[in-house]
Amino acid sequence: MINIGIILSLSYLIIVAVTYFIQNSMLYFPEKEIQHTPKNINLEYSEIYFETEDGITISGWYVPAENERGVLLFCHGNAGNISHRLDSIKIFHNLSLSVLIFDYRGYGKSNGKPSERGTYLDAEAAWNYLVNVKQKPPEEIILFGRSLGGAVAAEIALMKNPAGLIIESSFTSVPELGSKLYPWLPVKLISKFSYSTIHRVGFIKCPKLIIHSPDDEMIPFEHGRSLFKNASEPKEFLQIKGGHNEGFLISNRIYSDGLKNFLERCLHPQKRPPS
């Protein structure tokens, strides 16, 4: 019995050690191939490149709106690349928002390897591109983050002064989410990542919209509710329906109307989306 106990204990320690060293591959799922572009949905766009503070070249698209009411800086989730976000780009375009969407380092055509600090630097460089190159004033920029991107967008919103912040289908922090997904592992003890949005939302001053679905099978609904509870005013919560990856599409008008109403309160009255 003692030998069995020792074997089980050693096996558990090995699993914990392996998990510690492979965390990057458990969190980031980048794809390099760009499968589609905005031209596939009949939208004009520019392929752009900009450099981060630590010298990494980041790739993205700038999709202009004809009657621009504001600009949306899109921080996507942990898998795929920008070419998998065309449905969202179309929705925002229909709301008269120009869109800058970029790939984190290691994703798509961006150089480097993903890391928590790296994703923050990538998003900050995208913000700087909008402000310095495109000459967009902060009061016309909406930060948007879905899933992992919610944590990235929150970090930039804390650093800068956007017109508004939208966090969709995101988590409170990586350790908290990991503890739910892997309750048999000491996730909070071994996690290399934080992405602690829960500790940022209370200090972000701009208007905030938290979006989540009770049907989300990847990130529990309680994470969205907790983010909303801890966020400072002004804040709003939009409950959608459907799973993690398709909820915004399934929700249709619930989603698009919720976005439009939020934008009307964030952007200057003359910059409001049309009815």
Whole-number percent of the chain with pLDDT over 70: 96
- d(C-alpha 22, C-alpha 267), whole Å: 42
Show me where the domains of the chain are located. 2-271
The confidence score (pLDDT) of residue 1 equals: 58
The confidence score (pLDDT) of residue 275 equals: 44
Q: What count of other Cβ atoms lies within 10 Å of the Cβ of residue 161?
A: 13
Cross-strand pairs, 58: 50
Q: What is the mean pLDDT of residues 9-35?
A: 86
- 95 with 273: CB under 8 angstroms? yes
Q: What is the mean pLDDT of residues 231-242?
A: 98
Cross-strand pairs, 79: 29
Q: What is the mean pLDDT of residues 49-61?
A: 98
Q: How confident is the model at residue 139 (pLDDT cuts 50, 70, 90)?
A: very high
Q: How confident is the model at residue 25 (pLDDT cuts 50, 70, 90)?
A: confident
- d(C-alpha 272, C-alpha 275), whole Å: 9
Please provide the distance, in angstroms rounded to a whole number, between the alpha carbons at the two ends of the chain.
72
The CATH number of the domain covering residues in 2-271: 3.40.50.1820
Residues composing the chain: 275
- d(C-alpha 216, C-alpha 212), whole Å: 8
- d(C-alpha 168, C-alpha 146), whole Å: 5
Q: Which residues of 33-54 are buried (b: 16+ CB within 10 A; e: fewer)?
A: ebeeebeeeebebeebebebee
Residue 269 has pLDDT above 60, yes or no: no
Q: Sign of the CA dihedral 117, 122, 127, 128? A: positive
How does pLDDT run across 150-187, given as a tens digit for each residue? 999 999 999 999 999 999 999 999 999 988 888 878 88
Beta strand pairing status for 235-239 and 208-212? parallel
* Lowest-confidence region among 27-31, 40-44, 214-218, 271-275: 271-275
The confidence score (pLDDT) of residue 218 equals: 95
The confidence score (pLDDT) of residue 272 equals: 43
Q: How confident is the model at residue 2 (pLDDT cuts 50, 70, 90)?
A: low
What type of residue is 242?
G
